[in-house]
């Protein structure tokens, strides 16, 4: 059971990224060429500015009151861009799923450099000891967990476009099912600790909510004046990658009790904070 649980995180992330590569829009290269300036701005926001906001928040005196798992979970989610849930949310809220997919792929590639740098910055500033995280190892993990399956999906789509188009829905559903199983598995293992964790970490919930709001604002402002771009960029920058964060937690922080639970709580806070924004953007798009 322990081995199965250990394999579930990388398997879920692999399936998510393969499904993304398989279902990428045919004109993604043209989209990248035409929207290069926007892509660069949003990548700067998602991969650099959002983690820097986390650094600033963790420098506040109040952050010293946060528990260790809350601090680490907060930091891990902040440094992990390229969220698998963004595409569906963008499409339903008046955003562009094609642009969201392009941004997600770009962020996955940029994460090879951005995550090791931001992780090093966070651990150095806060004097973290005993958390064995090396830039080269992180880059290798991202390459195997995200870039490899993404590249395989893109290769299959290029070589067998008809088959890829017919099977995209299946692999997308499979990835979503695996992600749901992963979340349920973590909740079953640590769910009895959820209410005690929340009651002991009310301040951490506030930090997470501020982080999500700041991330949304960064994406929204960097997107420019276009409505679709604003909605998409706000979601891309604020919706972090829980699968990747859980992978790092399993590898680099197995002894930190409550760390995976903190990551799931951050995800739940993100979903809750997104609700009024998504409602507003749907009404705005319908107007």
Within a 10 A sphere around the Cβ of 67, how many other Cβ atoms? 17
Query: The domain that contains 75 carries what CATH number?
Result: 1.20.1530.20
pTM of the predicted model over 0.75: yes
Closest by Cα among 40, 52, 11, 23 to 110: 40
The model's confidence at residue 10, banded by pLDDT at 50, 70 and 90, is confident
Structural domain including 201 reads: 2-286
Q: How do residues 110-133 score in pLDDT, each as one tens digit?
A: 888 888 888 778 777 765 554 555
The model's confidence at residue 1, banded by pLDDT at 50, 70 and 90, is very low
Question: How many structural domains is the chain composed of?
Answer: 1
Q: How do residues 152-183 score in pLDDT, each as one tens digit?
A: 888 898 889 889 888 888 888 888 788 778 77
Q: How do residues 201-235 score in pLDDT, each as one tens digit?
A: 999 999 999 999 999 999 999 998 888 888 888 98
Dihedral of alpha carbons 113, 183, 7, 23, sign: negative
Q: How do residues 24-75 score in pLDDT, each as one tens digit?
A: 766 666 667 777 888 899 999 999 999 999 999 988 999 889 998 898 899 9
Query: What are the helix (H) ranges across 45-96?
Result: 50-59, 68-79, 86-92
CA distance linking residue 30 with residue 190, whole number of Å: 45
Rg (CA), the chain: 18
Q: Per-residue b/e over 235-245, b at no fewer than 16 CB within 10 Å? A: bbbbbbbbbbb
Mean pLDDT, all residues of the chain: 81
């Amino acid at each position: 059971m322990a081995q199965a649980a250990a394999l579930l995180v990388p398997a879920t992330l692999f399936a998510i990224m393969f499904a993304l590569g398989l279902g990428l829009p045919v004109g993604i290269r043209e989209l990248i060429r035409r929207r290069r300036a926007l892509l660069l701005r949003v990548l700067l926001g998602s991969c650099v500015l959002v983690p820097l906001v986390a650094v600033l928040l963790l420098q506040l005196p109040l952050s010293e009151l946060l528990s260790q798992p809350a601090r680490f979970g907060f930091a891990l989610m902040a440094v992990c861009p390229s969220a698998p849930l963004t595409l569906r949310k963008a499409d339903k809220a008046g955003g562009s799923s094609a642009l969201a997919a392009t941004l997600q792929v770009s962020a996955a590639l940029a994460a090879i450099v951005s995550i090791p740098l931001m992780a090093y910055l966070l651990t150095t500033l806060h004097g973290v000891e005993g958390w064995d995280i090396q830039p080269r190892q992180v880059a290798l993990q991202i390459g195997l967990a995200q870039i490899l399956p993404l590249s395989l999906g893109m290769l299959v789509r290029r070589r067998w476009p008809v088959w890829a188009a017919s099977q995209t829905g299946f692999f997308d559903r499979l990835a979503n099912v695996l992600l749901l199983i992963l979340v349920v598995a973590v909740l079953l293992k640590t769910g009895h600790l959820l209410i005690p964790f929340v009651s002991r970490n009310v301040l951490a919930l506030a930090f997470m909510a501020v982080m999500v709001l700041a991330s949304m604002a960064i994406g929204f402002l960097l997107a420019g004046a276009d409505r679709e771009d604003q909605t998409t960029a706000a979601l891309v920058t604020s919706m972090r990658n829980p699968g990747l964060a859980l992978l790092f937690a399993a590898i680099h922080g197995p002894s930190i009790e409550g760390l995976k639970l903190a990551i799931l709580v951050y995800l739940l806070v993100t979903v809750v904070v997104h609700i009024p924004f998504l409602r507003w953007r749907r009404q705005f798009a319908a107007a």
